[in-house]
Chains A and B, each alone.
Chain A
Amino acid sequence: MSALILTMWPGAATAETLATQSFLQPMGPVAEEQAAHLLRVVAITMIVILPVLVGVPLLLWRYRLNSDKAKYTPEWEYSNKLELALWGVPIIIVVVLASWLWYSTSKLDPYKPIGENPLQVQAIGLDWKWVFIYPEDGVATVNELAIPVGRPVELTLTTDTVMQSMLIAPLTGQIYAMPGMTTKLNFSATRTGTAEGENTQFNGTGFGRQKFTVIALDSDRYDAWVSDARSAPTLDDATYTILRRRSVLAETRTDLGLTKDATPIYFSAPDTALFDRVVQKYHQSRTAHTVDELGGTGLPPQGGGGPE
């Protein structure tokens, strides 16, 4: 049943206008391998599942109560050969599956760089938006991650609030982001396009709108994107404190005096230590509320200028 839906589904996805949101429409090698591994696992596991799906209806029909022809062996309760098959076949299948698991898990280790000289991007999860900092290029954004096609990307994640989980399905899998800690995602894009990234770990009322756009650009257009962003206002501590408020992007824009829509915000970001300072906030040997810089470590105030 699910296999049927699986094979039917890619045809059903129509809206090309939307950002890609699924790893079954991969934009890079990691998601490609994940999709391939999914099909591989389904195919192998079918060896033990199909006999049940086919056999049970046959059993019910063949051995129904008022069947005259069917054999009836009420005392039969054991067979050496059958036992061997019942335990042996699943064991062999699990050995095969386990080998593939070992292979694909090692290959797709999110901490392992995809290639030489990856583009370093830092991501800070806030309630309910993402801040991306490009320390090499000195720019930052809210809810937009631009990457050059062909160059590996190493994303380092943390949050300045509760636990979150970042997923950019068409490019790579997800990993948790936690305050005071960093995690990594390594991936690359092989074609241009737009993907949707999201937080998958529920973190409050704005959770459903904590999405961001991932754009994979040719290197020329990526350079243009960077130079555009460099001319944007500066991401200083005061601005960061406003970003840290509990609000979705549209409300943050209002707080910053921008139009109230869901367009990403761009900053020039000369402070290359911002990400590390956010992580370090949670390593002070003081209790909550006593760290004041960058909006503190406690519950941020509600943003968005009142009820909508």
Chain B
Amino acid sequence: MIQQTNPIFGRLDWSVTPYTDLLNKVTSSTIVGAGAATVLVVGAIGAVALLTWMRWWKPLFRDWLTSADAKKIGIMYIVLALVMMARGIIEGFVMRAHQATALGTLAAPESGLVAPDHFAQLFSTHGTIMIFFVAMPLLIGLINFVLPQQLGARDMAFPVLNQVSLGMTAAGAGLIMISLLVGQFGTGGWTMYPPYTGIEYSPGEGVDYWLWAIMISGIGSTLTGMNFAVTIFKKRAPGMHFMRMPLFCWTSLCVAIMLIYAMPALTVSSTMLLLDRYAGFHFFTNAAGGNMMNYANIFWMFGHPEVYILVLPAFGVFSEISSTFSGKKLYGYTSLVIASMSISVISFTVWLHHFFTMGSSVPVNIAFGIATMVIGIPTGVKIYDWMATMWRGRIRVTTPIVYLVGFFMLFVIGGLSGIILANPSIDYQVHNSTFLVAHFHNVIIPGVLFGMLAGIHYWFPKAFGFRLSETWGRLTAYLFIGGFLCTFMPLYVLGLMGMPRRSPTFQNPDFMPWMYIAAFGGVLMLAALTSLTWTFWTSWRNRERLAVPGGDPWNGATLEWSSPAPVPEWNFPHIPVVTARDDWGATKRGGDPWRGPDEYVDIEMPANTYFGVTLAGAAFLLGFAMTWHIWWLSIVSLFTIVAALFWRGLQVVEPVIVPAEEVERADKQYRDRIASLTPVRRVEEETEHNRGVPDITEFAG
């Protein structure tokens, strides 16, 4: 614990890095800590060197960081998520490796790969990263990329606000990353329940890192929710009635509404804990009238809707791919819309099931238990709707379908354990056990991760102009499925055997066989991560052969497949007039879908701005300075944020005009290209013959 606060450096000094810990005492734990910090440092230096060597700094800022294009913002979100996911998966593996070596006795000190305190930091960062900085940016990124194109819009309703949202998320992720090198992270898990995380029991910077990362990225997520909602309400193409929107747009709308209502609860609980820690308040302290139960209550008012925020976009993806790759119309559109909307409403009424065991009375537990089961109804309906979509179809087992099948087979098991946990009488037994850990990984990995990876695979050609390798894509999917099974099925068993979650050590030798299987699963997960990275690399190297300039590689039905790949900044040369659900499919059935517009007009696009980057940098510094009590820097960065807001507010913002001639030239070039390409039949979809122009006579869905 550092007592002194230096006026310039706050509580920072040379003792805060993991290298100091390593110098003090060489153990496997300090070696792992210093190793992780080294990976971060070497990675950062390597990235800077690469950017400098390739002279990419200017394009990085000009084309990406200052861009307000929702598609680019979406891609940056996904890149951020994948980088964070690499850390999250490695941390997961270290935890599995630790527990496989953590069998001990009650009398002897804890042994194993890492020290108990280090282990606690690992499960705290792993959870925080996977929820807030992998799952959230993955889905927000995918929605950013897809939503305007599916709605027939050019961009989000508030493109610059979108940039700010990304900036806030990145600033939060940056704080989590820097905690590897500077100081310690909190040890209270991703939920950070006080009073354990209060100032008395957790002095120091750890919990503050979490609080500032959550607060800052939470602002980004709230703004994103508003942006998505307004975009869906105001930016739909003419004729795109609500009941003509693709399912992915519907689930995006659910997510938007849920973000708006759920995120504030997290901000409130975090702010209250922050006031406890910084300003001597007593919201959640043991003494002076504080009540820790309020934290759990407010946190889970956010926390439960959050899991449906995570999973609904994946449900949107599954609706799109089950239809496309079965060559069939989506079964039960209205049912799916009603189910999605029901899920988003009911998800706000179940949060108490996270603390059935806090002593609430029987009627309260019954009410929330039944509400939890009720949410299983629309979820079950969805799964059967997708199966009905595939029934009497012609199913191509592409990578997204492998993920979908993995989802079907695994998610229902997660649903079963969810129903089990919804029973307060059983929850009393398996709450806080590895059974619970297995349950939420069982819904989040097959649900969110598989859905997002399927979506990335599906829409990747639209972003970059070439398909991803199907061979490597499928291998990655199999590895993730195998890795999931080996890692988390043993945790169900261990939970039923009575093993608490977050155990730095345990004494029951019967656990060991299951621990070894789980550790092997961790190895498979690492292999899946490697295979995923390799998929991107090898596909990029073969980008000529995988190129799909025609823009419709899967013979799709929704509007985004009517444009070239990669899609131009303006999405559509002319805003489409929508006449049917699955408008692009209807056009295909009408014949000659690639007819150009009659006339071209100037297009207004949002201008680039440094606003988002400035706010992100200032927010990162604010969080870092507050964590380390560097007051002068906090004031400077807060002032920078306020000044940037004023500066932006006082600007007359002019859009960039893309002249009609330029649009016409690009569009005519695309139409000529289409005419020169040979249409490909579905059986040849995975071959080099697929140039993104499908045989429309085959399209029937």
Q: Provide 24 A-B residue pairs closer than 8 Å at the C-beta atoms, listed in order of the A residue.
A: A9-B496, A34-B426, A41-B423, A45-B419, A48-B412, A52-B384, A74-B701, A75-B701, A76-B392, A87-B377, A94-B376, A97-B419, A100-B423, A101-B369, A101-B424, A101-B425, A105-B424, A163-B292, A180-B286, A181-B359, A199-B500, A204-B201, A262-B106, A288-B287
Q: Indicate which residue in B102, B106, B358, B497 contacts A13 across the interface (CB closer than 8 Å).
A: B497
Q: Indicate which residue in A41, A209, A250 contacts B426 across the interface (CB closer than 8 Å).
A: A41
Which of B326, B385, B432, B501 neighbours the largest number of chain A CB atoms within 10 Å of its CB? B432
Q: Which of B43-51, B147-155, B187-195, B627-635 contacts A (4 or more CB under 8 A)?
A: B187-195
Chain B's nearest CB lies how many Å from the CB of A293?
13
Instruction: Say whether B687 faces chain A, with CB atoms less than 8 Å apart.
Output: no
Residues in A with CB closer than 8 Å to B32 are: none
Chain B's nearest CB lies how many Å from the CB of A268?
24
Report the nearest A residue to B326, measured CB to CB.
A63
Q: How far is the CA of A173 from the CA of B426 in the complex (A)?
A: 8
Residues in A with CB closer than 8 Å to B334 are: 78
Q: How far is the CA of A14 from the CA of B334 in the complex (A)?
A: 52
Are B423's CB and A101's CB within 8 A? yes
Q: Indicate which residue in B108, B292, B395, B425 contacts A105 across the interface (CB closer than 8 Å).
A: B425
**Could you give, for residues 610-629 of chain B, a 1 whenever the CB lies within 8 Å of some chain A CB and a 0 otherwise?**
00000000000000000000
Instruction: Say whether A227 faces chain B, with CB atoms less than 8 Å apart.
Output: no
Contacting B at CB under 8 A, from A68-114, are 70-79, 82-83, 86-87, 90-91, 94, 97-98, 100-102, 104-111
**Nearest 7 A/B pairs, CB to CB:** A173-B428, A262-B106, A74-B700, A208-B505, A200-B432, A21-B498, A200-B500
Q: Which of A116-124, A164-172, A216-224, A230-238 contacts B (4 or more CB under 8 A)?
A: A164-172
**Could you give, for residues 398-429 of chain B, a 1 whenever the CB lies within 8 Å of some chain A CB and a 0 otherwise?**
00000001001100110111011011111111
Chain A's nearest CB lies how many Å from the CB of B530?
26
Task: Show the binding face of B for A, using Cβ within 8 Å.
Answer: 102, 104-110, 115-117, 120, 187-189, 193, 195-196, 200-201, 282, 285-288, 292-293, 326-335, 355, 357-359, 361-362, 365-366, 369-370, 373-374, 376-377, 380-381, 383-385, 387-388, 390-397, 405, 408-409, 412-413, 415-417, 419-420, 422-429, 431-433, 485, 489, 492-493, 496-510, 682-683, 700-701
Q: How far is the CA of A98 from the CA of B422 in the complex (A)?
A: 10
Q: Which of A54-62, A130-138, A146-154, A269-277 contacts B (4 or more CB under 8 A)?
A: A54-62
Are B498's CB and A207's CB within 8 A? no
**Could you give, for residues 281-305 of chain A, a 1 whenever the CB lies within 8 Å of some chain B CB and a 0 otherwise?**
0101111100100000111000000
Residues in A with CB closer than 8 Å to B397 are: 60, 64-65
Q: Indicate which residue in A65, A101, A105, A288 contacts B288 across the interface (CB closer than 8 Å).
A: A288
Residues in B with CB closer than 8 Å to A261 are: 107
Q: Given A15-B509, A52-B387, are A83 and B701 neighbors across the interface (CB < 8 Å)?
A: no
Q: Indicate which residue in A12, A64, A106 contacts B362 across the interface (CB closer than 8 Å).
A: A106
Q: How far is the CA of A75 from the CA of B358 in the complex (A)?
A: 52
Q: How far is the CA of A71 from the CA of B390 in the complex (A)?
A: 12
Residues in A with CB closer than 8 Å to B504 are: 205, 207-208
Residues in B with CB closer than 8 Å to A106 are: 362, 366
**Could you give, for residues 169-184 of chain A, a 1 whenever the CB lies within 8 Å of some chain B CB and a 0 otherwise?**
1001111101111010
Instruction: Say whether A24 faces chain B, with CB atoms less than 8 Å apart.
Output: yes
Q: How far is the CA of A198 from the CA of B333 in the complex (A)?
A: 49
Which of A102, A202, A298 neighbours the largest number of chain B CB atoms within 10 Å of its CB? A202
Q: Indicate which residue in A77, A107, A208 contacts B506 across the interface (CB closer than 8 Å).
A: A208
Are B428's CB and A110's CB within 8 A? yes
Q: How far is the CA of A174 from the CA of B426 in the complex (A)?
A: 10
Chain A's nearest CB lies how many Å from the CB of B413?
5
Report the nearest A residue to B289, measured CB to CB.
A285
Chain A's nearest CB lies how many Å from the CB of B357?
5
Are B329's CB and A75's CB within 8 A? yes
Q: Indicate which residue in B328, B409, B428, B683 contacts A66 across the interface (CB closer than 8 Å).
A: B683
Instruction: Say whether A33 faces chain B, with CB atoms less than 8 Å apart.
Output: yes
Q: Given A73-B328, A82-B388, A202-B188, are A2 and B492 neighbors across the interface (CB < 8 Å)?
A: yes
Q: Given A38-B426, A76-B329, A202-B188, are A65 and B396 neighbors across the interface (CB < 8 Å)?
A: yes
Q: Given A2-B413, A15-B510, A286-B287, are A175 and B357 neighbors across the interface (CB < 8 Å)?
A: yes
Interface size bucket, A side?
A: 35 or more
Instruction: Say whether A23 faces chain B, with CB atoms less than 8 Å apart.
Output: yes
Are B288's CB and A286's CB within 8 A? yes
Are B195's CB and A162's CB within 8 A? yes
Chain B's nearest CB lies how many Å from the CB of A71?
5
Q: How far is the CA of A56 from the CA of B65 in the complex (A)?
A: 43
Q: How far is the CA of A288 from the CA of B198 in the complex (A)?
A: 12
Which of B393, B425, B493 neighbours the largest number of chain A CB atoms within 10 Å of its CB? B425
Q: Given A49-B416, A86-B384, A200-B431, are A65 and B683 neighbors across the interface (CB < 8 Å)?
A: yes
Q: How far is the CA of A250 from the CA of B107 in the complex (A)?
A: 5
Q: Given A14-B510, A202-B188, are A94 and B505 neighbors across the interface (CB < 8 Å)?
A: no
Q: How far is the CA of A297 from the CA of B282 in the complex (A)?
A: 14
Are B498's CB and A196's CB within 8 A? yes
Chain B's nearest CB lies how many Å from the CB of A123?
14
Q: How far is the CA of A22 from the CA of B498 in the complex (A)?
A: 5
Q: Indicate which residue in B110, B376, B416 contacts A208 across the interface (CB closer than 8 Å).
A: B110
Q: How far is the CA of A174 from the CA of B428 in the complex (A)?
A: 5
Are B428's CB and A172's CB within 8 A? yes
Report the nearest B residue to A250, measured CB to CB.
B107
